[in-house]
Amino acid sequence: MKYTLLPSIIMVSIIGCQNSMDSPETLQKLRAIGVKTTPHILTPENSNSSVNYTFYFAKPVGSPDLTVDNYNDPQSFVPYIPIDASSAVVSSENFGGMDLLEVTLSGGLSDLALLPIRPDIGFTTLPFGLTVSSGSEIENVVGRQVIVPVGEAAKYTIPEFTLSEPTSRTLSSATTPLSASLETVSEETYRISWYVSSGSVKNPKALVTVWKDIAVGENLLIFTARGRKTNAFFIKALKITR
Amino acid sequence: MGVVMNRLNIILSGWLWAGLVLAQTSKPEQEAAPPSPQDVPQAAGDQEQRASLNISLAIKAKGTGLILPRVEVKVGAETLFTNSEGKIAFILPADVKSIVLYRKGFEKETLKRDILSESGEYDVFLFPLLGDDETITVRGNRKQEVSRKTISATEAKAVSPGGDPVQVIKLLPGVQSSQFDSRVIIRGSGPEDSRYFVDEINLPFIFHPIGARSVVPEELIEDVEFSSGGFGPRYGWATGGIITVKTKSTPPTRSKWTLNVNIPIYSGVYYETPLGEDNSGALSVSVRRSYLEYILPTVLKSQRDDDQGDLTLTPIFSDAHLRYLKTYADGGYYKLTALFAQDGFRLLADAPRSERDDGKVNVFVDARYLTLGVEREYKRDNGYSFNVAPSLTRAIQEFEIFDFFFKISVLTLDTPMSMTKKLGGKNKFSLGLDYEISRVGLSLLLPVPARDDPFYDPLDAPKIAFNENNLKSSLSAIWGSIDYYVGDFFITPGVRVFHDYQIDRSAVDPRLSLFYKANPSQTLKLAYGLYSLNPLPDEASDSFGNPNIDFEKAVHHIVGLETNWSDLWQSDVQLFYKRFFNIIRSDPVTTVDNDGIGYAYGFEVFMRRMLTERFFGWLSYTWSKNKEKADASSPWLNSPYDQTHAMTLVGNYRFSTRWQLGGRMAYTSGNPYTPVSDAVYNTNLDVYQPLFKESTQNSARLPSKTKLSFFFKRDFLYDTMTMALRFGVEELIIGDKTQNIDYNYDYSEQQSSQAIPAIPYIEVSAQL
């Protein structure tokens, strides 16, 4: 009965998640949002090509500018996809009190021996990472690129979503429903995330949910979806005024 | 979960009975003196004329209705006694105004003539008294073991958490309780390293993982034996300790019902009755079930803000037993026991890691077993005695979380048998065989480990499915020991030879214990032993584990000094050193290996005030260090079970047969944990993942804790029924209430989660 401990710990950790000191969907400081990779899935044919990365961050207006560095993993026992941090291009768009930043750069696979496809699971992965800081705030962002056999990649398309709620960019109350729907067909499913610059989202991982305690003024609302297997990434940012 | 349930082990009903407490005040209790002639009023010449009456009395004990033979009955100048059935018949002369009833251990009762106003039969109930505080309650004397302690059910019930006798082991030296596990950690050995028995039956678990209470009804328990190390060769496949619940081996003298109502946790009913004309047999049955699943969801919902999301938790536990006991004139007995226990819960909660569209996670956990056991002990005039105790256990454990599930079903036939031969004097030789065969069914859908992924996450990993219903494992052992007395020495050498058929390995574990009676009040004790723990079926599996895996091992070294300061006071001081090797660890290449090593050392002090009818208690203190390392080249690190100080002070005082006060205070060092050194944002999962440094494993420690628990118990004695009202507070934390360390979503901030506040409770039980 050694196995009794595991579910107990899982359950406690789940309950513990409910008591987090802050809401992860509420943007208050430098915060990584996600990474779009092009291509979003690799095959062994890509062994000599490069991958373009767009790292998304939210940052309060007026906080120090971003600095970009390579991520050094002290515990890694597999090679990371080399990314040239010095070539990073940072662009910014303002959404009231928050800026949405895009850090664009590329990584090369030419010096990297792609790991063989694991026969037991049908794919393999390669990690990538980047360290971004704004003053004393540091975000270490990591991800993994999935490599599938030739011909498999076509199964996994980049998703398109439609945001049907809020229906207006201008709100009269502090609460609004949030709703998104998938418009494309793919073999994979997606992880949903809502981010807001004020208030909180009742269930920020659901397609249909509620945004509460919206502050008066301009607010940032971000919707993201990311593939559960690949790096297919969708992002939509809206400026919502109350 | 056990922590939560312990706290919730609170009975909120019974305020009605609180009124009874106030209404029924107890009489001052004194041992009654035999009636003097002055106690017996004589006829008065000026009284009105009365007729003589034919009186028949049946005299019984108040509260139980037990018949009382040899009760002294003063009728005028005449002294009579009740017969073996507690009955007496006499003529009450017209001139006698009252009679006096007296029996040692009971209040003196005077029956006036206006009660005995007519000829006829009367039932009279005498109120029991407490004895003095110097008479020690004597229990059976069992074979000595260096680190074994035996606590009677009477003592255990009076001080244990929730009044559950088996949990008394958590109050003894060498024992730690883990935070989220109802089982115990013994001298640095993990909970799965110890074995739990009811008599000779090995149980999958003896504490409800959910309710934390033991699965054995308290009315069935004679005493609880706990060996924290150095145990003899009779027990194997354990490197920690042995916990044995000894059930009563003597039939009751009358039928008895016990009803426990515990709101909002559970209710239970227990029944026992003697069997046979000579009362040589007995039958007992019990059923207990929780009803938290009906109450807790509502309570949780009312206590949570909308921002905290929805949470539905439906825990459940239940147990039942059936036992037939037959005793024989030679001292032997026959026990047929059936035990069932179940624990589980369903949880539906908002969770950031949810894969569902509604953002929730569904968790289902269930563990249950049914054991059928037969124990027969024969005693022969030629000095031989035999014990055979086969048992069949069906244990099932399953859990579901997210899309994963795991179900293991084990059918085990265990056939321990032993023989003891008296060799002259107190010397004797024991020999035993133990064969255990299991058929294991395993079905699962779990994430595939991906060791090449530095940010491996089980939810993101591919899944593996497995379904096999005919895995087999079997173990066999032969053991022998000699109890040998030489002068002031008592020495017990022994050996256990065993084989695990799954890994096809054999081993030999020598054991030795030695007692030296230095003087009439002091005994020096030594123990040494090698102990082996067989790998679990999945650890030795070709598919999931390593077929070359070996036994885990531990060597126990113990030195102790037992001192009888007086008839009432006893102390036991022990030094221990345990060396662990061949510890099974996960390995990136072979899945698991035997490279882990560790040690634990420390000392224990146990100062005990023996049980009298009024007071008992003890002080238990353990100081220990517990280190481990993953392999020979790794650094020594704190074990997750390292707890430097563990002290418990317990006591119980009976003011009268009606009132008693009990309580305990515990101080423990905080458990170690591994602090988060850094965190990364994983874009694939949209979560922050903590990073830990190997060098800081278990380097931080939660704050130490001081907990206070106390209760008052009031008994209400009716003619053939006793009701008990118990009220108090469990685990009132004094000072720092930190229960665990939590982090915010990106691990940049740390905060402590606080323990649930102690809640007063009231519990009502009835025996009839």
- Secondary structure class of B303 (helix, strand, coil): helix
Contact B576, B603 (CB under 8 A): yes
- ipTM of the complex model: 0.92
pLDDT digits (tens, 9 = 90+) for B282-305: 999 999 998 877 777 676 666 555
What single-letter DSSP state applies at residue B589?
Answer: T
Nearest to A180 by CA among A126, A237, A109, A124: A237
Of B365, B682, B742, the CB nearest to A142: B682
3-state secondary structure B704-724: CEEEEEEEEEEEEECCCCEEE
Does residue B749 sit at the A interface (CB-CB below 8 Å)? yes
DSSP codes, B19-36: HHHHHSPPPPP-PPPPPP
Position B66 pLDDT exceeds 50: yes
Nearest to B528 by CA among B477, B575, B485: B575
Contact B632, B597 (CB under 8 A): yes
Q: Note whether B307 contacts A8, CB cutoff 8 Å.
A: no
* Separation CA B559–CA B602 (nearest Å): 11
- pLDDT computed for residue B311 by the predictor: 66
Nearest to B223 by CA among B252, B250, B245, B199: B245
Does residue A13 sit at the B interface (CB-CB below 8 Å)? no
B749-762 burial, b if ≥16 CB within 10 A, otherwise e? eeeeeebeebeebb
Does residue B685 sit at the A interface (CB-CB below 8 Å)? yes
- Secondary structure class of B352 (helix, strand, coil): coil
* Separation CA B728–CA B445 (nearest Å): 46
- Secondary structure class of B236 (helix, strand, coil): coil
Does the structural domain B34-126 have CATH classification 2.60.40.1120?
yes
* Separation CA B32–CA B179 (nearest Å): 50
* Separation CA B712–CA B394 (nearest Å): 40
**A13, containing H or E segment:** helix A5-17
- pLDDT computed for residue B41 by the predictor: 43
B588: nearest CA partner in chain A: A77
| Domains within chain A, CATH numbers bracketed | 23-241 (2.60.40.10)
Residue A96 Cα, gap to closest chain B Cα (Å): 24
B594-630 burial, b if ≥16 CB within 10 A, otherwise e? bbbbbbbbbbbebbbbbbbbbebbbbbbbbbebbbbb
Position B475 pLDDT exceeds 50: yes
Maximal C-alpha separation, chain B: 109
- Secondary structure class of A81 (helix, strand, coil): coil
- pLDDT computed for residue B131 by the predictor: 61
Q: Note whether A5 contacts B181, CB cutoff 8 Å.
A: yes
- pLDDT computed for residue B362 by the predictor: 82
pLDDT digits (tens, 9 = 90+) for B203-259: 888 888 766 678 899 889 999 999 999 999 999 999 999 999 999 888 988 888 999
Position B574 pLDDT exceeds 90: yes
- pLDDT computed for residue B40 by the predictor: 43
Contact B723, B765 (CB under 8 A): yes
pLDDT digits (tens, 9 = 90+) for B679-722: 999 998 888 988 888 888 899 999 998 999 888 999 898 888 88
Contact A50, A111 (CB under 8 A): no
* Separation CA B230–CA B530 (nearest Å): 9
DSSP codes, B79-123: EEE--TTSEEEEEE-TT--EEEEE-TTB--EEEETTTS-SSEEEE
pLDDT digits (tens, 9 = 90+) for B668-691: 999 899 999 889 999 988 889 888
Is the Cα dihedral B14, B19, B20, B24 positive or negative?
positive
Taking contacts as CB-CB distances below 8 angstroms, the residues of chain B near A205 are 352, 354, 359
Q: Note whether B347 contacts A127, CB cutoff 8 Å.
A: no
Number of other CB atoms surrounding residue B55 within 10 Å: 20
Least confident of B29-33, B107-111, B276-280, B609-613: B29-33
Find which of A145-159, B388-402, B754-768 is predicted with most confidence, using mean pLDDT: B388-402
Of B307, B397, B454, the CB nearest to A127: B454
| Interface probe, candidates A123, A196, A205, A229, chain B, greatest B C-beta count within 10 A | A205
B1: nearest CA partner in chain A: A8
Query: β-strand A66-70 against B705-717: which pairing, if any?
Result: unpaired
Output the six-digit token pair for B123.
Answer: 């039932």
Output the six-digit token pair for B734.
Answer: 């004094």
End-to-end, the C-alpha distance of chain A in Å comes to: 56
Q: Note whether B180 contacts A205, CB cutoff 8 Å.
A: no
Does residue B357 sit at the A interface (CB-CB below 8 Å)? yes
Residue A217 Cα, gap to closest chain B Cα (Å): 22
Contact B660, B628 (CB under 8 A): no
Q: Note whether A14 contacts B749, CB cutoff 8 Å.
A: no
A227: nearest CA partner in chain B: B684
Contact A127, A146 (CB under 8 A): no
| Interface probe, candidates A6, A9, A11, A195, chain B, greatest B C-beta count within 10 A | A11
Is the Cα dihedral A33, A35, A36, A42 positive or negative?
negative
pLDDT digits (tens, 9 = 90+) for B501-547: 989 999 999 999 999 999 999 999 999 999 999 998 778 877 777 88
Of A3, A191, A226, the CB nearest to B397: A3
Q: Note whether A9 contacts B454, CB cutoff 8 Å.
A: no
Q: What is the CATH number that goes with domain B2-15+139-767?
A: 2.40.170.20
Tell me the mean pLDDT in the region B454-474.
75
- B contact residues 175-234, partner A, Cβ 8 Å cutoff: 180-181, 191-192, 204-205, 209
Does residue A113 sit at the B interface (CB-CB below 8 Å)? no
Least confident of B122-136, B161-175, B394-408, B637-651: B122-136
* Domains B2-15+139-767 and B34-126 equal at CATH topology level: no
Taking contacts as CB-CB distances below 8 angstroms, the residues of chain B near A191 are 685-686
* Separation CA B689–CA A127 (nearest Å): 15
Does residue B399 sit at the A interface (CB-CB below 8 Å)? yes
**Domains of chain B: which residue ranges?**
2-15+139-767, 34-126
Maximal C-alpha separation, chain A: 57
Output the six-digit token pair for B421.
Answer: 């031969």
On the CB side of B581, how many CA atoms lie within 13 Å of its CA?
A: 5
Q: Note whether B454 contacts A12, CB cutoff 8 Å.
A: no
Report how far apart, in Å, the C-alpha atoms of A177 and of each of A173, A207, A241, B364 are. Answer: 11, 11, 15, 31
* Separation CA A200–CA A170 (nearest Å): 18
Q: Note whether A206 contacts B359, CB cutoff 8 Å.
A: yes
Question: What does the pLDDT profile of chain A (242 residues) look like in tens digits?
Answer: 333 333 444 444 444 444 444 678 899 899 999 999 988 888 877 766 788 999 999 999 999 999 999 998 876 667 788 888 888 999 999 998 899 999 999 887 765 565 677 776 778 888 889 999 999 999 999 998 888 888 888 888 888 999 998 999 999 999 999 999 988 877 788 888 999 999 989 888 888 889 999 999 999 999 999 988 888 899 999 999 98
Of B192, B311, B453, the CB nearest to A18: B311
- pLDDT computed for residue B16 by the predictor: 26
Does residue A121 sit at the B interface (CB-CB below 8 Å)? yes
More confident residue, B656 or B760: B656
Report how far apart, in Å, the C-alpha atoms of A75 and of each of B449, B591, B692, B693 are. Answer: 17, 20, 10, 9
Residue A154 Cα, gap to closest chain B Cα (Å): 19
Of B192, B365, B745, the CB nearest to A24: B745
* Separation CA B29–CA A92 (nearest Å): 87
Taking contacts as CB-CB distances below 8 angstroms, the residues of chain B near A16 are 740, 742, 753
Least confident of A44-48, B433-437, B547-551: A44-48
B351: nearest CA partner in chain A: A14
Does residue B359 sit at the A interface (CB-CB below 8 Å)? yes
* Separation CA A31–CA B686 (nearest Å): 11
Contact A128, A144 (CB under 8 A): yes
B396: nearest CA partner in chain A: A1
Of B351, B536, B742, the CB nearest to A19: B742
* Separation CA A96–CA A62 (nearest Å): 11
